[in-house]
Chain A
């Protein structure tokens, strides 16, 4: 679970770093990704990996389109308006999903059926696939951001939009790309999560809220912070569920988050800047 939170939090942070928008529809993109994958596997009879690829590409394209059509217009408006905008978009996606696929609960068939026993600890392949997927995605994104031209251009854009524009970086295209990557990561997270939680239209909401907590815990705007925050939230949830009385499983992450915000408002890896007047 922690890795999923980390992945979704990664999506939040990517968009926040580049465009300073907070995307509350991330969880619903995750849900859409899982549904598209389910549709291509169960309805069209495609193999799992083809479904995976189709879902990620389709949702990534959708994310880019969303940026180009809707979110580019609100740049410069108060952050809060944008948050509400994405909440509205999320509600629309959920309605779209319930009208298209109905409100039943689906199971996604996966090739990860077996278990793997290492030194007396039994690990199911499903959970291993989540961990492996997270590692691969994080490694890929790390390499992309630090070693490709576009990745470095994205970093520049996130530091100073105007300066990046003057340097000849196509800022609009970069924004769309960031949205595409972030939506693609959300879709991948959704597909990895699907065998664990099953697919329904509300699967995204709960995950997104926890992932949001993870992103804040790690310090909004720090990519390693997001992943670590996600893992921490997942672990807290696990241990609280196992050791504390009933009812703490869902609240413990938030209690930790509140304490964290009181003690260190900028998060674990965040930086606090003071505006010069």
Chain B
């Protein structure tokens, strides 16, 4: 186990904990940059999704994981960003201007939604954002002069300063660039007074208020920042998906984002990225398993002479092919994570790390949760 020798208070809020940490992140950066050189086009495209979902995850993590405000309507912000971006590009604005406009417009929308949200907590806020997203979705399908309604809207690949980003590999680097910027920006915000104020609000509004945190300002800020990130993600999303239609941005997408932050681990930026990897890569993983499980099981059946194995494999493949099974698998994983590992994948990662760094001395009870009674959220 490494021990840090702390000589100043500023050490607690450094970007990287120490040089060793910095080294590992550097190695990770090199690996991520090198990935498209070794992978095929399909995988590179799927990993671009990880980066886009990563931005969405960071956005929602700031709001849900750090400020403690639940939003069931983040798909609406994503949609606003995507449509705004596509609209400005279609009317001849340069790419950078379109992105900036998308971010500005969604930030403004976030502020407008955030204002009434100041008075609400918990479940009321969730339903208010849900109502907002339903209304926005209807606006997408009716405001045909801008969004083209259900006819849809085609989005061409980006052209930045005259350079076309046409193929999947350059788009990969574009998404990677924005995700790193977003992570860096958010990490800086979180280790500054703003982030500490957000965390204080999450842990106890009353305590934060009595320590002099202005609830109204910091909550609106969290909403606006989160919405702005969602707008940026929306701009990339529009290019990635290529064709915008109102029925993409439903409540199911919002739920998927919440699933992302929970499975990843609430209250950590690592969690947002872990969650993004999970959400973006599970559907292709299921698609691969769908074909490979029956094949391998049949192979085993031939080798061992037990025909039941082959039949079982075929049945599993058949089951995975049925419509709607993917949503059920997502649901099952969500239930299991909440029941067994409330800190999500990042919590599990911390445990594994601690296990190896303290190897023979690891105690499972380090992370044992206290039994708790129902704490009323009515009196808040």
Contact = CB atoms under 8 A, between A and B. Distances in A.
A241 to B, nearest CB: 13
A90 B377 contact: no
Pick from A83, A89, A161, A213 the residue with the most CB of B within 10 Å.
A83
A70 B258 CA distance: 20
Given A209-B251, A277-B206, A258 B325 contact: no
Given A213-B127, A247-B141, A95 B325 contact: yes
B378 interface: yes
B374 A84 contact: no
A92 B377 contact: no
Interface of B: 64, 70, 116, 119-120, 122-124, 126-128, 130-132, 134-135, 138, 141-142, 206, 210, 251, 255, 258-259, 262, 319, 322-325, 327-335, 338-339, 342, 371-380
A201 B335 CA distance: 20
A137 interface: no
B126 A88 contact: no
B135 A84 contact: no
A96 B335 CA distance: 15
Contacts of B141: 247
Interface in A131-176: 161-162
Contacts of B331: 87-92, 95
Given A20-B374, A92-B331, A275 B324 contact: no
A79 interface: yes
A103 B380 contact: no
Contacts of A88: 259, 330-335, 338
Contacts of A201: 324
B130 A209 contact: yes
A224 interface: no
The secondary structure that dominates the A interface is: helix
B379 A275 contact: yes
14 contacts: A22-B123, A80-B122, A87-B255, A88-B331, A92-B332, A95-B327, A98-B323, A209-B130, A209-B134, A216-B127, A247-B142, A251-B138, A254-B132, A255-B135
Contacts of B373: 75-76, 161-162
The secondary structure that dominates the B interface is: helix
B211 to A, nearest CB: 13
B379 A99 contact: no
Contact of A79 (B120, B122, B329, B333): B122
Given A91-B327, A216-B124, A85 B335 contact: yes
A84 B332 contact: no
Interface string A19-33: 110100000000000
A87 B258 CA distance: 10
A273 interface: yes
B374 A76 contact: yes
B372 to A, nearest CB: 3
Nearest to A202: B324
Nearest to B324: A98
